[in-house]
């Protein structure tokens, strides 16, 4: 048995370097992705090998593997980690006319080391009947004492909150951001815990009346077999807040090519495929994410929430400010 396993390990390691493959290190873990990878395999005959883990762990692994790394593509669920990867020098510039022509400048790295694949908006969700839709306006206003005891939001350990805070820092500077966070902490209905869905369930059940959550979670809750999610989401509505001098906070899921990618050509083909019309449709329809390719429609559930303008700041700044965001949370006492 051990012999067999060791042999298969060796075979696996050597097969990674065949040119009909692409090795993907991904932080995404959705069924949609599995389908997309199969579609790519069928279309191109290139086998997709995947290893999934937290982005920072994958970045650490690629960095450690160095020149020997079998990694071709790194996919993350936020811009901050792509920035981190670039900073560590484990990505390379991608030469692709298709990506340059089709992914808006704001949604890619300035040196073309990574490109966004999907967008997610971080929004407020309010309880129907709480009257909160009349009160809600900007992200800044969430620190207003009029919301005392109303806000449910997850812990600052979470990358989506860190990105929101990074955006706040980009708009107003660190000092303002710390004070803003202090205001939000004072308005919390409960100590931060659970995930985004938990916050939505909480307001649906009478704890607070505003939840901060990512849009695609709301979509995923609608047809959920977990009845407490499906029931809760019926009692809430989405509101798109804005920054005072910007739009709604968005983050991206994106991909880059590893610096020592053994299958560079395949890696670029793979990312181009994920930014293609058919892949973008699947991201939008099955996972309730916003497509980055123009002309691809959102799903009906997503459309029913209404439209919004993206924040004006560059996605790059989310990564640049991530560390400062974590510190600001700690200083504000946001658990």
Partner 1 sequence: MNQAVSKIKISSIFLTLLISAPAVIIFLYLFIGHSDNWQHLKDTLLFEYIFNSLYIMFGVAILTSIIGFTTAYLTSLYTFTFSRFFHYALILPFAFPAYIVAFIYGGMFDITGTVTTFILNLINKDLSEVVFFDIMSIEGAILVMSLVLYPYVYLICKTYLSFESASIIDAAKTFNLSSWQILKKVILPISRPAIVAGVTLAVMEAVADFGVMDYFGVNTFVTGIFKTWFGMGSVDDAAKLASILMTFVFLIIILERLQRRNKVFKSSGKDFKPIDKVKLTGFKSFLAFISCFIPVFFGFILPFIQLCYWFFISYEDIIDEDFMTILYQTLSLAIISAFIITALGLLFVYNVRKNKDKTSSILTQIAKLGYSIPGAVVAVGILSFFTILDKNIIEIFTSNYVISGTIIAIIFGYCVRFLAITINNFEAGFSRIPQTYDDAAKTLDVGEKRTFITIFMPLLKNSAFASFIVIFIEVIKELPLTMILRPFNYDTLAILSLELTQQSQIVESSVPSMFILIIGMISVVLLAKNMNKAH
**Candidate segments 27-35, 140-148, 275-283, 306-314, binder of partner 1 by CB under 8 A:** 27-35
Measured distance CA(273)–CA(135) in Å, rounded: 43
User: Per CB under 8 A, does 12 bind partner 1?
Assistant: yes
Closer to partner 1 by Cβ: residue 63 or 310 = 63
Stretch near partner 1 under the rule CB under 8 A, chosen from 112-120, 149-157, 268-276, 300-308: 149-157
Residues 6+ apart with CB under 8 A from 230: 221, 222, 223, 224
d(CA 122, CA 271): 25
326 touches partner 1 (CB under 8 A): yes
Which residues ranging from 81 to 140 are in contact with partner 1 (CB under 8 A)? 84, 87
In the complex with partner 1, which residue's Cβ is closer, 43 or 193? 193
Minimum CB–partner distance for residue 188 and partner 1 (Å):
12
CA–CA dist 162, 292 (Å, integer): 22
For residue 306, what are the CA distances in angstroms to 173, 277, 298, 301, 312?
30, 22, 11, 10, 19
Does residue 238 belong to the site contacting partner 1 (CB under 8 A)? no
The Cβ of residue 277 has, within 10 Å, a number of other Cβ atoms equal to: 11
Distance of closest approach, residue 104 Cβ to partner 1, in angstroms: 26
Are 131 and 94 within 8 A, CB to CB? Answer: no
In the set 39, 41, 56, 128, which binds partner 1 (CB under 8 A)? 56
One residue of 9, 18, 93, 100 binding partner 1 per CB under 8 A? 9
CB closer to partner 1, 66 vs 104: 66
Radius of gyration of the chain measured on its C-alpha atoms:
21
User: 55: closest CA among 255, 195, 197?
Assistant: 255
Site for partner 1 contains 259 (CB under 8 A): no
Please report how close the Cβ of residue 190 comes to partner 1 at its closest, in angstroms: 8
Q: Is 83 annotated as a binding residue?
A: no
User: Least distance in Å: CB of 125 to partner 1?
Assistant: 14
68 forms part of the interface with partner 1 (CB under 8 A): yes
DSSP conformational letter for 95: -
Q: Using an 8 Å Cβ cutoff, are 305 and 215 in contact?
A: yes
Indicate the residue among 137 and 158 with the shorter CB distance to partner 1.
158
Q: Are 92 and 176 in contact (CB under 8 A)?
A: no
Number of residues in contact with partner 1 under rule CB under 8 A: 72
Q: Judged by CB, which is closer to partner 1: 7, or 100?
A: 7
Q: Is 290 assigned a ligand-binding role in the annotation? A: no
């Amino acid at each position: 048995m051990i012999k067999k396993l060791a042999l298969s390990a060796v075979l696996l390691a050597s097969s990674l370097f065949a040119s009909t493959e692409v090795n993907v290190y991904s932080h995404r873990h959705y069924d949609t992705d599995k389908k997309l990878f199969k579609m790519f395999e069928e279309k191109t005959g290139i086998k997709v090998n995947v290893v999934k883990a937290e982005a920072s762990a994958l970045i650490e692994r690629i960095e450690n593997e160095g020149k020997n790394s079998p990694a071709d593509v790194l996919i993350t669920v936020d811009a901050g980690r792509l920035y981190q990867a670039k900073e560590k020098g484990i990505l390379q510039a991608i030469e692709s006319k298709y990506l340059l022509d089709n992914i808006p400048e704001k949604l890619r790295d300035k040196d073309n080391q990574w490109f966004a694949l999907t967008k997610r908006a971080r929004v407020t969700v309010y309880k129907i009947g709480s009257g909160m839709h009349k009160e809600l306006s900007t992200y800044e206003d969430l620190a207003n004492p009029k919301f005392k005891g109303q806000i449910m939001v997850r812990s600052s350990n979470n990358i989506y909150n860190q990105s929101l805070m990074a955006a706040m820092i980009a708009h107003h500077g660190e000092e303002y951001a710390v004070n803003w966070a202090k205001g939000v902490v004072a308005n919390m209905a409960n100590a931060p815990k659970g995930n985004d869905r938990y916050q939505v369930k909480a307001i649906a059940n009478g704890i607070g009346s505003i939840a901060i959550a990512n849009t695609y979670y709301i979509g995923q809750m609608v047809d959920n077999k977990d009845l407490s999610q499906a029931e809760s989401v019926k009692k809430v509505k989405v509101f798109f807040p804005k920054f005072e001098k910007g739009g709604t906070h968005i983050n991206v899921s994106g991909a880059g090519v590893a610096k020592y990618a053994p299958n560079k050509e395949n890696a670029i083909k793979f990312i181009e495929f994920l930014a293609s019309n058919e892949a973008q449709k699947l991201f939008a329809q099955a996972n309730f994410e916003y497509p980055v390719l123009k002309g691809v429609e959102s799903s009906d559930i997503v459309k029913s929430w209404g439209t919004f303008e993206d924040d004006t700041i560059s996605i790059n700044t989310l990564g640049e400010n991530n560390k400062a965001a974590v510190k600001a949370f700690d200083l504000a006492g946001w658990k």
